[in-house]
Structure 1
Amino acid sequence: MSLLHADAVGVLERWSAPDEGQERLREEYLAHLAAYPDGMWKACADGHITASALVVDPPRERALLTLHAKLRMWLQTGGHCEPQDTTLAGAALRESAEESGIAGLGLLRPEPVALDRHRTPCAWHLDVQYAVVAPEGAIEAISDESLDLRWFGYDEVAAVADSSVQALLGRIRALTRSA
């Protein structure tokens, strides 16, 4: 078992799901990891854990979305875990930095914000979602994995993104209001 696999199990065991649906997903993810020692990696055809993060700029009330090149959808940054990753939070930060081009991103909080299970062309993604805060003056740069990269006002996200991104943003906004 890899350090990343052990971290994922620990993160999911400690995470307090905000509702019944998220609790069911948490239990499914833990069962997946128990059944598949390779369940963190893209090569696991029965599905794999992925790490993503929505990059937000709370003072300006905006979120950075990427127009995914393969899926052609506006999504949060994120993707497959890599062999050098040792934590899920680190994988989410790495993916966010790679896909946004922004240096100095920081986690809003160390634990996940939400879970989302969805089918992709390669397999089921069991996505562990984080919130990442952009530093003041952040300048984004589009990556090869994106067709476009753009800041959207919180109130604009619903017009371009699917329900999973909208739900993630809603959870992040609730966290930033209560902080």
Structure 2
Amino acid sequence: MHRIQLLDLLKKQKGFDENETKMIDETIEFVQTNEDCFKRELSIGHVTGSAWIVDKSRQFVLLTHHRKLNKWFQPGGHCDGDSDVLNVAMKEAIEETGVADIQVLSDEIFDVDIHLIPERKGIAAHFHYDIRFLFEADKNIPLVISEESNDLAWIGIAKVSELNDSESITRMARKF
């Protein structure tokens, strides 16, 4: 069961565009090849889980201004050995936003992205094979900024690219 659940989800996933389709294929290969793919100790890279959290109107997304990377991103983080990536995404969303009442909108994958994490404090550059899931939360619930963030905010989906114009983020916004 260790990798089978994720591989099954990835094999069902249809890419939004050619770029995402390529990353899905590469992620499948990575997970099949690396038994320790959920552990951050795998120095070439590892699977991470992220949450694209929208409000009930589907007009806003909850983003965090990441302290270390100094950019706006969706909440997410390392699996640390947990192969239930949906659970990881939910846990990270709650930890990074302070919002306990987050609903899973689908247990299917929302988006797949592979991105290079630069070398930092003696940890070599490596890849995150990021599995993103779609969640919903009430945008009136107070937010709690964690030590990992400089800020949290509900951003109009049409304005996401003004805060982070990377293909990784704008592709998720285009899916709405």
* TM-score, with structure 2 as normaliser: 0.87
- Residues 17-166 of structure 1 mapped to structure 2, 5 A cutoff: 17-59=15-57, 61-83=59-81, 85-121=82-118, 122-135=125-138, 137-163=140-166, 164-166=168-170
CA distance in 1, matches of 2:41, 2:25: 22
- AA of the residue aligned to 1:116: D
- Provide structure 1 residue ranges, at least 5 long, that are not aligned to the other structure: 174-179
Aligned length: 169
User: Which runs of no fewer than 5 residues in structure 2 stay unpaired?
Assistant: 119-124
Contact kept, 8 Å, 2:47 with 2:79, in 1: the verdict is yes
| Aligned equivalents of 1:19, 1:159: Cα separation in 2 | 22
TM-score, normalised by the number of residues in structure 1: 0.86
CA contact under 8 A between 2:6 and 2:83: conserved in structure 1?
A: no
1:60 CA drift (Å) = 6.7
Of the structure 1 ranges 28-37 and 10-19, higher mean CA displacement relative to structure 2 is found in 10-19
Quick one: structure 1 residues 139 and 39, their matched pair in 2 at CA, closer, same or farther if it must change by over 3 Å?
A: same
- Give the 3-state SS of the residue equivalent to 1:151 in structure 2: strand
CA distance in 2 between counterparts of 1:23 and 1:74 reads 24
Q: CA RMSD in A?
A: 1.8
Deviation (angstroms), 1:33 = 1.2
Contact in 1 for aligned 2:56/2:138 (Cα 8 Å): no
| More helix, by proportion | 1
Kindly provide the amino acid, as one letter, of the partner of residue 114 in structure 1.
D
The one-letter code of the counterpart of 2:174 is G
Looking at structure 2, the residues matched to 156 and 102 of structure 1 have their Cα atoms a distance apart, in angstroms, of: 22
* Residue 168 of structure 2 corresponds to residue 170 of structure 1: no
Q: Is the 8 A contact 2:139 2:154 kept in 1?
A: no
Cα distance between partner residues in 1 of 2:113 and 2:46: 12
1:119-155 superposed Cα distances (whole Å, 9 cap, x missing partner): 1135111111112100364221111111111111222
Shift of 1:106: 1.2
Contact kept, 8 Å, 1:49 with 1:127, in 2: the verdict is yes
Residue pair 1:41, 1:48 contacting (<8 A) in 2 also? yes
Structure 1 distance, partners of 2:73, 2:22, is 23
- The residue type paired with residue 36 of structure 1 is N
Q: Which amino acid aligns with 1:160?
A: L
SS of equivalent to 2:113: strand
Greater Cα offset, 151-160 or 96-105:
151-160
In 1, Cα distance between equivalents of 2:136 and 2:59: 11
